[in-house]
Structure 1
Amino acid sequence: MPLTFATYNIQFGLGQDGAFDTGRIADAVAAADIICFQEVVQNWPRDDYEDQAASIAERLNLFYVFGSSFNVDGSFRNESGKVVNRRRTFGNMVASRWPITASRTLHLRKKPSPGVFDLQRCAVEAIVDAPSGPIRVYSTHLAHQAPSHRMPQVEALREYIFRAPYEGGPIDGPHPLPPEAAFDWTEGLAFAPAPRSAILAGDFNCRPTSEEYAHLCGEPHPKHGRTRHYDQLVDSWVAAGNGEEGVSTLYTRDADYKIDHVLTTDDLAPKVTKSWAATDEIASDHYPVFVEFDL
Structure 2
Amino acid sequence: MTLRFLTWNIKTGGSGGRLDAALDLLRRERPDILALQELRGFPGGRMRDVARALNMTPFLARSVLGQPVAVLVRPPLRIVSWSALWWRLHHAAAVVVTPTAAGPVTVVSTHLNPFSPSRRRREARRLVARCRAAPGPVLIAGDLNSLDPGTDHAERLARLPEHYRRRHLGPDGAADTRAIAEFAAGGLTDLWQVAGEGDGLTVPTTAGGGGEFSAAGMRLDYVLATAPIAAAVTRVRVIRGAEAEYASDHYPLVVELDL
TM range (shorter): 0.7 to 0.9
2:24 to 3, 24, 27: 27
Gap change, CA 1:151 and 1:50, over 3 Å in 2: same
Looking at structure 2, the residues matched to 6 and 261 of structure 1 have their Cα atoms a distance apart, in angstroms, of 10
Corresponding residue number in structure 2 for 1:94:
71
TM-superposed CA distance for 1:133, in Å, is 2.6
* Cα 1:63/1:14, change in 2 over 3 Å: closer
Q: Secondary structure at the match of 2:88?
A: coil
Post-superposition CA distance 1:19-48 (Å, at most 9, x none): 3232322222232110000011237xxxxx
Helix, strand or coil for the counterpart of 2:249?
A: coil
1:164 maps onto 2:118 in alignment: no
CA contact (8 A) 1:99 1:129 kept: yes
Equivalent residue, structure 2, for 1:137:
107
Structure with the largest fraction of helix: 2
Deviation of 1:206 after TM superposition, in Å, equals 0.8
Q: 1:238 to 1:13 in 2, by over 3 A?
A: same
- Decide which structure has greater strand share: 1
Quick one: distance in 2 between partners of 1:108 and 1:275?
31
- Asked if 2 retains the 8 angstrom alpha-carbon contact of 1:250 and 1:258, the reply is no
Query: What fraction of aligned residue pairs are identical, expressed as a percent?
Result: 30
Rg comparison, structure with higher value: 1
1:103 aligns with 2:72: no
Hey, what does 2:203 align to over in structure 1? 249
- Paired residue secondary structure (2:257): strand
Matched residues in 1 for 2:78 and 2:147: separation? Answer: 32
Distance 1:241 1:41, change over 3 A: closer
Work out the CA distance in 2 between the residues paired with 1:142 and 1:206: 8
RMSD: 2.2
Aligned residue identity for 1:142 = L
Question: 2:112·2:120 contact (CA, 8 Å) conserved in 1?
Answer: yes
Counterpart for residue 14 of structure 2? 14
Gaps of 5+ in 2: 150-176
Instruction: Please report how far the alpha carbon of residue 234 of structure 1 lies from its aligned counterpart in structure 2 after TM superposition.
Output: 0.4
Alignment partners' CA distance in 2, 1:21 and 1:246 = 23
Matched-pair contact (CA < 8 Å) for 1:41–1:53: no
5+ residue gaps, structure 1, are 44-48, 72-88, 111-119, 166-195, 219-230
TM-score (norm 2): 0.77
1:240 aligns with 2:223: no
- The amino acid across from 1:237 in the alignment is W
SS in 2 for 1:42: coil
1:81 match:
none
> Is 1:217–1:234's contact at 8 Å kept on the other side of the alignment?
yes
Say if 2:236 and 2:254, in contact at 8 Å, map to a contact too.
Answer: yes
